[in-house]
Amino acid sequence: MLVELGYFLRDLKLTPVLQFTKRGMVDAATGDETLSSIGANYWYARHNANIKGAYTRIDPKGSARRNEFTIQLQLFYF
């Protein structure tokens, strides 16, 4: 299951984003995990280029919780 919510702030060219993911493994005692994420997307060249940053909390079943920070650059050429 994946749920993502974002809202585009036109004047700032910014999209705050919240994401919730739950992954379940069938017939396995371990492998299930829940991820919660908060981040923002900055659209500096409309849909041709953007920078995304997010902080994610990973909670796997049977293991220690982890934190992850991601920065992503996307470029498109049409």
Residues 57-77: pLDDT tens digits?
Answer: 999 888 899 999 999 999 998
Q: Is this prediction's pTM over 0.75?
A: yes
When divided into structural domains, the chain yields a total of 1
Name beta bridge partners: 5.
18
Q: Which amino acid is at 72?
A: Q
Closest CA to 36 of 2, 71, 6, 73: 2
- Show the domain range for 18: 2-75
For 49: left if phi > 0, alpha if psi spans -120 to 50, otherwise beta; the answer is beta
User: What token pair was written down for 5?
Assistant: 């919510």
Q: What is the per-residue pLDDT for 29?
A: 67
CB 55 within 8 A of CB 36: no
